[in-house]
C-alpha cells in the first residue's frame, strides 16, 4: 500500500502538489467557520445543578447580569468613609447610570455595599452579553468608567478602582497578547534554529513551517464544515490547541521522513528511490501513529463536557489530515528538491559516527534490564506526585498582580468577604408554583447563616416575573474560585443548602463556584472514562501494526505511566517548589491531548524500528542496540524541537501558560528521552521473541548468523 503511494507521489510530484493545493483552496474558500462560545457553563450537561440554576435564572431573572464589574471606592487618606462620602458615591453611581453604556444593565450602590468597617464602598455594574461583540462593548465601558471616575470624584477625597472579570480582561489583554507574541516568535525561531542545527540546511528548516501553516488553514475549514454536519461548537481555545497539535505531530512526521530520507541517500540510493523507500518504511509508522492519535482524540466523544466533545472530532480531523500531508505533500516537495533540501550542508553524503546513540544502544543491548528498571523507576517516582494534585480555578491569580483590577480586589477584601464579587447564588422555587413566602425565605436565611464556609447571607431578591422564585446570595469566607472553595461547595455547602431548604420548595445552587464544582465532577468523570478507553483502542491499533499481543500491553502501560509522571512533575514543581495553590484544572486534559499523542508517536517509531532490525536477522539485544542507534537520533531531534517549542511558553506572563508549557515540554522529554529511548527498547530486549507473540513480527527475512556473531563480539555481548 505505502509502496504504491510512494511511487505515485514521487513519480508525479506536480500532480500531487497541484491536487493538494486545489483541495486546500476549495476548503478554505467555501467551508463555514467554526462557531465558538466563551462561557464554560454553556458546555455543561443540563443534569448538573449549576446548569439547572442557570436555566431558572434565565427565566425568572431575564435582566440578571451576565458579568459583574465592581467599582471599589475608599478614602485617599485611608480613613473610614463618612456619611457625605457615602452620599458622593451614590451620586457617582447615578451619574454613571445616566451615561447608559451599551451592555450595562445597571450601576447601583446602597448602604449594604458599604463595608461594616467603613473601609470601602462598592458600586456594582451589571453587564449583559456573552458574544465577542458584547465583550468588546463591555471592555469599552470599563475603560470609559475609569476615565470618568477621577472627574466625578474630584475634590471629594475619594479614590476608586475598577475590578471584576471584565476589568481583569481589559488589564490582562496586553499580557495575553504579549505572551502570545513572545511564544509565537520564540516558537518559530526555535523550530528554525533547531532544525538548522540538526541539518545545517535553511530550506529544510523553513519548509515544515510553511506547509504546516497552510495545513492549519485547510484543517480549520474542514473542522468548520464538520461542526455544521455534526452540530457542535467549541470554546475559544480550540484553534490554539489545533495549531499546537498540528505543529507537534507535523514536525514529528516531517522529521521521521527526512531522517529516513537522509539515511537512504547515505546508503547510496538515488533521490527518487530514496524517497520511495522512505515513504514505504516510514509510511506505516506515520499512518499508525496518526490513526492511534486520532482514535485517542475521538474518545473525547464519550466525554460529557460539551467543549471536550467538540475537541474530539476537530483534533482527529487535524491529525488525520496532517498524516495525509506528511505522506503526500512533504514527499512530493522533497522529491522535487532532492538533495538541495540539505543545501548548503554536505553531511548527507557522509555516514555519521553516531557516537552517543551508538553508545546508548550498546549499553541497552548489554544490560536491557538496567535500562528498563532505571527509566521505569524514574517515571514511577515522578508519577507519585499525582497523589498531591489539586485543581486551580483561579485564573485571576495567575495574571500580574500590579494591575488596577487586582488592586481593586485587594481593596475590596479590606471590608468584605472575598466572595462578594462571585457569590454562591441559591435559587429557591416553590414546588407548586405558588408565591414564595417571607417566612420560607427567612427560615432558609437563618439556616444558611451557619452553612459551611459562608461569611454572609445577602438580602433576598424576588424574581420580577416569577413570584415563585427568590434568589439568595451566599458570600464565601475564602476566594470563591480557589480549589478549597470549589470542593467546599461540592462536598459540604450544596448538601447543607439542600438540607436548609424549607418544605414545599426546591433549591438550585448556582454561581461561578458551583459551576466550577460541577465542571470538576465532569472532568474527573471524563478522564476516568476516556483514559482507559483510549488505552484499549491504542493497544488494538498497536496490535494490528505489530501483529502482537504482548508488545501493545507494555507500550500502552508505558504511555499511561508517562502521562502520570508528567502530571506528577507539574505537581512537584508548581505546588511543591513554587508553592502555588494548585495546578490549572485544564492540565490533565491538555496532557491527555499532547503527552498521550506524542508518547504514542515515539513509541510507534521506536517499536517499528525494533521490528525492522529484528527482520533483518538481528537477535533481540542486537535489534535493540541498532534501533536506538538508528532511530534514537530521530526521536531525540523530534523531542528536542517539540519540548523546546512548548518550553518557550514559560516566557509568558500568565501562570496557566507557564504551567502548560512546562508540563507538555517535560512530558515530551520523558516520552522521547526516557520512555522511547530506554524503557521500550530495554523491555523489548528483555522479553526477546516473546514481545512479538503470538505473531512473528520479528521473523527475519534471512538468517545472517555470521554477521550476528561478529556484531555480538564487537559490542561485547559475546566474547
Q: Where are the domains of the chain?
A: 1-30+200-348, 65-171, 368-398+548-719, 400-515
The CA-atom distances, in angstroms, between 193 and each of 29, 187, 204, 668 are: 33, 10, 11, 19
Cβ atoms of residues 611 and 546 within 8 Å: yes
Cell of 543: 496490535
Other C-beta atoms within 10 Å of 221: how many?
21
Q: Which residues contact 103 (CB under 8 A, 6 or more apart)?
A: 127, 128, 129, 134, 137, 138, 141
User: pLDDT tier at 715 (50, 70, 90 boundaries)?
Assistant: very low
Report the pLDDT averaged over residues 585-610: 82
pLDDT value at residue 121: 93
CA distance 256 to 276: 14
pLDDT digits (tens, 9 = 90+) for 93-106: 999 999 998 888 88
Residue 1 has pLDDT above 90, yes or no: no
CA distance 55 to 44: 12
The sign of the CA dihedral 300, 305, 310, 314 is negative
Same fold, 1-30+200-348 and 400-515: no
C-alpha 386 chain-centroid distance: 17
User: pLDDT tier at 130 (50, 70, 90 boundaries)?
Assistant: low
The answer to which of 67-81, 186-200, 562-576 has the lowest mean pLDDT is 186-200
Q: Domain spanning 368-398+548-719 has what CATH number?
A: 1.20.1640.10
**What DSSP assignment string belongs to 412-480?**
HTTTS-GGGSS-EEEEEEETTSPPPPHHHHHHHHHHHTTSTTEEEEPPPEE-SS-TTEEEEEEEESS-T
What top-level class would CATH report for the domain 400-515?
Answer: alpha beta
Cell of 291: 490513526
pLDDT digits (tens, 9 = 90+) for 62-81: 877 677 889 999 999 989 99
Furthest CA-CA distance within the chain: 101
The conformation of residue 33, written as its DSSP 8-state character, comes to: P
Residue 39 has pLDDT above 60, yes or no: no
Report the pLDDT averaged over residues 126-133: 73
Cβ atoms of residues 569 and 666 within 8 Å: yes
Residue 36 has pLDDT above 70, yes or no: no
Backbone angles phi, psi at 33, to 5 degrees: -80, 150
Length of the chain: 719
What percent of the chain is modeled with pLDDT above 90? 40
Name the CATH superfamily for 1-30+200-348: Multidrug efflux transporter AcrB transmembrane domain (1.20.1640.10)
User: pLDDT tier at 708 (50, 70, 90 boundaries)?
Assistant: very low
What percent of the chain is modeled with pLDDT above 70? 92
What top-level class would CATH report for the domain 65-171?
Answer: alpha beta
3-class secondary structure, 75: strand
pLDDT value at residue 599: 76
CA distance 357 to 631: 9
Cell of 66: 451576565
The sign of the CA dihedral 289, 290, 291, 294 is positive
583 strand-pairing partners: 391
pLDDT digits (tens, 9 = 90+) for 431-459: 999 999 999 999 999 999 989 999 989 88
The CA-atom distances, in angstroms, between 409 and each of 122, 404, 640 are: 11, 9, 42
Of 468 and 228, the one with more pLDDT = 468
- Bridge-based pairing of strands 104-108 and 158-164 is unpaired
3-class secondary structure, 72: strand
CA geometry: angle at 660 spanning 396 and 404, to 5°?
20
User: pLDDT tier at 131 (50, 70, 90 boundaries)?
Assistant: low
- Helix 271-298 with 306-337: angle, nearest 10 deg: 180
Report the pLDDT averaged over residues 241-247: 81
Residue 710 has pLDDT above 50, yes or no: no
To the nearest whole number, what is the mean pLDDT of the chain?
86
The CA-atom distances, in angstroms, between 14 and each of 78, 328, 330, 331, 334 are: 75, 11, 12, 11, 12
**What DSSP assignment string belongs to 260-306?**
HHHHHHHTT--HHHHHHHHHHHHHHHHHHHHHHHHHHHHGGGG-SSH
Report the pLDDT averaged over residues 341-369: 86
pLDDT digits (tens, 9 = 90+) for 663-706: 989 999 999 999 999 999 999 999 988 888 886 666 666 544 44
Residue 375 has pLDDT above 90, yes or no: yes
CA distance 624 to 469: 70
pLDDT value at residue 697: 60
User: pLDDT tier at 45 (50, 70, 90 boundaries)?
Assistant: confident
Amino acid at each position: 500500500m505505502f509502496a504504491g503511494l510512494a511511487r505515485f507521489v514521487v513519480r508525479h510530484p506536480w500532480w500531487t502538489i497541484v491536487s493538494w493545493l486545489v483541495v486546500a483552496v476549495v476548503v478554505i474558500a467555501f467551508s463555514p467557520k467554526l462557531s465558538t462560545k466563551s462561557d464554560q457553563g454553556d458546555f455543561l450537561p443540563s443534569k448538573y445543578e449549576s446548569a439547572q440554576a442557570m436555566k431558572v435564572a434565565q427565566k425568572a431573572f431575564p435582566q440578571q447580569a451576565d458579568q459583574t464589574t465592581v467599582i471599589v471606592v475608599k478614602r485617599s487618606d485611608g480613613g473610614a468613609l463618612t456619611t457625605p462620602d457615602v452620599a458622593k458615591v451614590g451620586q457617582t453611581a447615578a451619574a454613571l447610570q445616566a451615561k447608559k453604556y451599551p451592555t450595562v444593565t445597571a450601576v447601583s450602590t446602597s448602604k449594604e455595599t458599604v463595608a461594616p468597617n467603613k473601609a470601602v464602598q462598592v458600586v456594582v455594574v451589571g453587564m449583559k452579553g456573552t458574544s465577542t461583540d458584547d465583550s468588546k462593548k463591555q471592555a469599552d465601558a470599563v475603560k470609559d468608567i475609569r476615565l470618568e471616575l477621577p472627574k466625578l470624584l474630584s475634590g471629594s477625597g475619594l479614590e476608586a478602582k475598577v475590578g471584576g472579570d471584565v476589568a481583569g480582561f481589559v488589564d490582562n489583554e496586553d499580557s495575553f497578547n504579549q505572551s502570545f507574541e513572545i511564544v509565537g516568535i520564540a516558537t518559530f525561531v526555535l523550530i528554525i534554529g533547531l532544525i538548522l542545527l540538526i541539518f545545517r540546511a535553511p530550506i529544510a528548516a523553513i519548509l515544515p513551517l510553511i506547509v504546516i501553516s497552510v495545513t492549519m488553514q485547510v484543517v480549520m475549514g474542514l473542522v468548520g464544515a464538520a461542526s455544521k454536519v455534526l452540530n457542535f461548537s467549541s470554546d475559544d481555545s480550540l484553534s490554539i490547541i489545533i495549531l499546537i497539535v498540528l505543529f507537534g505531530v507535523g514536525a514529528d512526521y516531517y522529521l521521521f521522513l527526512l531522517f529516513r530520507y537522509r539515511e537512504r541517500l547515505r546508503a547510496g540510493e538515488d533521490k527518487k528511490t530514496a524517497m520511495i523507500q522512505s515513504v514505504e518504511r516510514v509510511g506505516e509508522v506515520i499512518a499508525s501513529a496518526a490513526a492511534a492519535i486520532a482514535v485517542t482524540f475521538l474518545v473525547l466523544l464519550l466525554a460529557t463536557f460539551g467543549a471536550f466533545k467538540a475537541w474530539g472530532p476537530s483534533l482527529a480531523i487535524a491529525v488525520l489530515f496532517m498524516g495525509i500531508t506528511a505522506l503526500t505533500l512533504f514527499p512530493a516537495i522533497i522529491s522535487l528538491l532532492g538533495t538541495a533540501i540539505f543545501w548548503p550542508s554536505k553531511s548527507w553524503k557522509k555516514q555519521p559516527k553516531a557516537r552517543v546513540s551508538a553508545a546508548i544502544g550498546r549499553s541497552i543491548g548489554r544490560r536491557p534490564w538496567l535500562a528498563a528498571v532505571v527509566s521505569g523507576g524514574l517515571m514511577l517516582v515522578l508519577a507519585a506526585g499525582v497523589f498531591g494534585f489539586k485543581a486551580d480555578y483561579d485564573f485571576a491569580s495567575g495574571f500580574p498582580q500590579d494591575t488596577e483590577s487586582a488592586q481593586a480586589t485587594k481593596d475590596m477584601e479590606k471590608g468584605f468577604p472575598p466572595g462578594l464579587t462571585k457569590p454562591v447564588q441559591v435559587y429557591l422555587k416553590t414546588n407548586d408554583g405558588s408565591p414564595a413566602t417571607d417566612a420560607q425565605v427567612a427560615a432558609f436565611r437563618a439556616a444558611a447563616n451557619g452553612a459551611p464556609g459562608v461569611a454572609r447571607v445577602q438580602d433576598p431578591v424576588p424574581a420580577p416575573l416569577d413570584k415563585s422564585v427568590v434568589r439568595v446570595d451566599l458570600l464565601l469566607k475564602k476566594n470563591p474560585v480557589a480549589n478549597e472553595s470549589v470542593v467546599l461547595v461540592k462536598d459540604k455547602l450544596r448538601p447543607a443548602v439542600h438540607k436548609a431548604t424549607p418544605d414545599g420548595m426546591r433549591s438550585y445552587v448556582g454561581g461561578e463556584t458551583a459551576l466550577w464544582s460541577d465542571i470538576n465532577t465532569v472532568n474527573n468523570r471524563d478522564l476516568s472514562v476516556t483514559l482507559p478507553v483510549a488505552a484499549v483502542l491504542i493497544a488494538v491499533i498497536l496490535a494490528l501494526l505489530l501483529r502482537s499481543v504482548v508488545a501493545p500491553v507494555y507500550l500502552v502501560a508505558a504511555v499511561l505511566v508517562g502521562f502520570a509522571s508528567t502530571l506528577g512533575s507539574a505537581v512537584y514543581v508548581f505546588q511543591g517548589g513554587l508553592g502555588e495553590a494548585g495546578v490549572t484544572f485544564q492540565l490533565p486534559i491538555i496532557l491527555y491531548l499532547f503527552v498521550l499523542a506524542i508518547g504514542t508517536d515515539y513509541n510507534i517509531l521506536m517499536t517499528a524500528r525494533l521490528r525492522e532490525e529484528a527482520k533483518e536477522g538481528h537477535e533481540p539485544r542486537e535489534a535493540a542496540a541498532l534501533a536506538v542507534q538508528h532511530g534514537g537520533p530521530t526521536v531525540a531531534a523530534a523531542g528536542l524541537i517539540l519540548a523546546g517549542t512548548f518550553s518557550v511558553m514559560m516566557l509568558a506572563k500568565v501562570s496557566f501558560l507557564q504551567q502548560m508549557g512546562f508540563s507538555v515540554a517535560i512530558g515530551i522529554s520523558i516520552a522521547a528521552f526516557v520512555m522511547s529511548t530506554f524503557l521500550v527498547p530495554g523491555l523489548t530486549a528483555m522479553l526477546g521473541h516473546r514481545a512479538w507473540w503470538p505473531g512473528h513480527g520479528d521473523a527475519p527475512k534471512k538468517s545472517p548468523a555470521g554477521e550476528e556473531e561478529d556484531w555480538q563480539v564487537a559490542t561485547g555481548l559475546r566474547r
